[in-house]
Structure 1
Amino acid sequence: MSIKLVDRRDERLALQRQAKLTPLGSLLLRATIVLALIGTAIAIHWFDRGGLVDQVDGHISFGDVLYFTMITITTVGYGDIVPVTPRARMFDTFAVTPIRLFVWLIFLGTAYDFIFKRAWNRWRMKLIQDRLHDHVVVAGFGTSGGEAVAELLRRGTSPDDIVVIDSRQTVLETAEALGVNYLCGDASHNAVLEAAAIKRARAVVISAGRDDTSILIVLTARKLSPDAVITVVIRSEENEDLAKQAGATSVINPVSFAGLLVAGATHGSHLPEYMRDLATAEGRVALKERIVEAHEIGQPLSAITTGVGVRIYRGSDCFGFWEAEANALQAGDVIIEIVPGSR
């Protein structure tokens, strides 16, 4: 799994595809290249051993060539064996020196990929996790999940406060382009949700594409985060009660909701447009949910000045603006009001 923050300001156009080499294969390939470079240097030194002088016994054996090559490639040499002919010196200058640089670059790159990079990613992931508080976790980045993230951004949610979870690396490229945190993994697993710091999340949006998978994620999320607001997309009406029993705060059925809009259009052509305005942050009007303020307690719902009050939630009960209970607001009431939109 991976979690990542992306700065798109220095983006470059690049044609990419998934790497075919495994980490072990990459390591073996690099070792082969290093051995090939060293072997080339040893072979040339051996065939031109007449250009080398051993300061100890004056005789150049294969062991001396092997020793001289390794010392020359890995260090600057000790001076006990030295090139004395112009050809030997030219070879060391224009062949051995580049080989030395290539070997060191391969070594440093391998150390970075297999040691430093992993440690850096673990530290970076821990840093991002520690900064996640009151964020939104979006499990499933398909059509519904993607639109949910886009709407959250339009409503002013910072990309730093959104974590997208999906097992498909291809769709996460879109999440990366939006600048949000993303996690590649199965959201039905405890470890994946814990990596998204779900215990400190204020809300969870679940749209896994399959009702059974979505309900399983609801169960896992509710177990890990008892107080979070969990909204799940369910496509079959018969599974809506199961999702609520699993712990979902809200259940959205896009199929039945679309049917309501279509049916509403038969009674008024402007009704679907108005409903869309209410649902999106870019409409002329918008729905807002808030807690009743102290100076509003005792007043009727119709007297609020922040918008048009249409409904109140009092505990587990719901009352419309026309009902008697809406004539006197009480402490703890949750108000649903229509306010001007951003357009």
Structure 2
Amino acid sequence: MRRPRLPRLLPEDAALRRRPALSVWTSLGLRIILALALICIALAVHWLDRAGLRDNVDGHISLIDVMYFTMITVTTVGYGDIVPVSDRARLFDTFLLTPIRLFIWIIFLGTTYDFLIKHGWQRLRMRMIQSRLHDHVVVAGYGTSGSEAVRELIARKTQAEEIVVIDERPAALEAAEACGVNILGGDATRNATLEAVRIANARALIVAAGRDDTSILIVLTARRLAPNIPISVVIRAEDNEALARQAGATTVINPASFAGLLLAGSTHGPHIADYLADLAAVEGRVALHERPVAAEEVGKPLSAIATGLGVRLYRNGEAHGFRDEEAKRLEAGDLIVEIVPRRHR
């Protein structure tokens, strides 16, 4: 079931969104000025046509009476103490004052909704969604890499409501929202934005900001807020890969380097690149799987595991291949990377 999207940090909420040209207070001021201008028009016409009004109290129409009658008529239907008696005054009330009254009420109700009800509801809705965010995946950046990551996560059985996409571009957020994921419009390099998506409660962060400097800054910010979260980042320049790791990235992926590996591998055999793509894609017949060593596997060689083909193990943060000495005897705490049939995952 699709979960409602996270309210945006930017003040827009329509399907096609952009930052409004006017600030909140400027918009409020213009509405007040418009309402006062309409009241002044009604007041001027009433004063000029005061002979068509009758005061049932003292029989005299003063400026105060006109002001009183205008405000009462604009805000209510009147009390009957001052009434229009001439045809011209009644026509004015029918065809000019009634539309003015309705328009002022529309301004009043619209302002109440925009500045009180809508913002309050958005804050409440955001708190409700935030309270449910736990063990979710945060994707910072919904460009080519970010959108592919989201589609792959959903294909790998991650529920759409367990994914939160952060981006500043309305078009990107609209595309992400169409996938059913939660969205948040904001700058992922800021603490407040990552805190809003409960980064400390997330199970993983994917960073695909499109620029290496921005991606590295997001990694730094996230690592400070969530010291233990796995962070995968897309880095396009090879020189920046070490910086991303120093910033705290768990996994650094260079699309150009990976494409180069596929291309180079294809020159040594037509099926090598096909097999690598098969491992990476959710539609493939085999898959790479990472898991901790099981208790019954401790003491056995990596080649003896029954769940798949063991290709690598990680011990104390160091990688060891299946032919290394360390792979001849598994120890408690090892992480195993294995190739398994897709149907067994």
After TM superposition, the score normalised by the length of structure 2 is 0.86
Q: Which amino acid aligns with 2:101?
A: R
SS at match of 2:187: coil
The yes-or-no answer on 1:231 pairing with 2:246 is no
Q: Secondary structure at the match of 2:244?
A: helix
1:177-209 residue CA offsets vs partner (Å, 9 max, x unmatched): 222222223222222221221111111111222
**Which residue is equivalent to 2:202?**
201
- Show structure 1 runs of 5+ residues with no match: 7-12
Q: Which residue is 1:337 aligned to? A: 338
Give the Å deviation of 1:167. Answer: 3.0
1:68-217 mapped onto 2 (5 Å cutoff): 68-217=69-218
8 Å contact 1:42–1:69 — kept in the other structure?
A: yes
Equivalent AA in structure 1 for residue 40 of structure 2:
G
The one-letter code sitting in structure 2 at the alignment partner of 1:183 is L
The amino acid of 2:43's aligned partner reads I
Distance 1:176 1:245 in 2: 33
Task: Determine the C-alpha separation between the residues in 2 that align with 1:28 and 1:282.
Answer: 57
The amino acid across from 2:143 in the alignment is G
Matches within 5 A, 1:261-300: 261-300=262-301
Distance in 2, matches of 1:235 and 1:17, equals 29
CA contact (8 A) 2:139 2:146 kept: yes
* Deviation, structure 1 residue 300: 4.6
Who is 1:313 aligned against?
A: 314
What is the letter of the counterpart of residue 316 of structure 2?
A: G
Summarize the Cα distance change of 1:234–1:54 in structure 2 as closer, same or farther, 3 Å threshold: same
Question: How far is 1:71 from its partner?
Answer: 0.6
Cα distance in 1 between the residues matched to 2:186 and 2:6: 16
Contact 1:5 1:179 survives alignment (8 Å): no
Matched-pair contact (CA < 8 Å) for 1:309–1:337: yes
- Aligned-partner residue type, residue 287 of structure 2: A
Number of residue pairs the alignment of both structures matches: 335
Give structure 2 stretches of 5+ with no counterpart: 8-13
Instruction: Note the alpha carbon deviations across 1:247-270, whole angstroms, 9 max, x for none.
Output: 111111111111111000001112
One-letter amino acid matched to 1:66? M
Q: Is the partner of 2:269 in helix, strand or coil?
A: coil
Compute the RMSD of aligned alpha carbons.
2.7
The amino acid across from 2:123 in the alignment is R
Measured in 2, the distance between the counterparts of 1:16 and 1:331 equals 52
Seen in structure 2, the aligned counterparts of structure 1 residues 261 and 113 have a Cα distance that, compared at 3 Å, is same
Identity score, percent: 64
1:109 deviates by 0.7
Q: 1:294 to 1:205 in 2, by over 3 A?
A: same
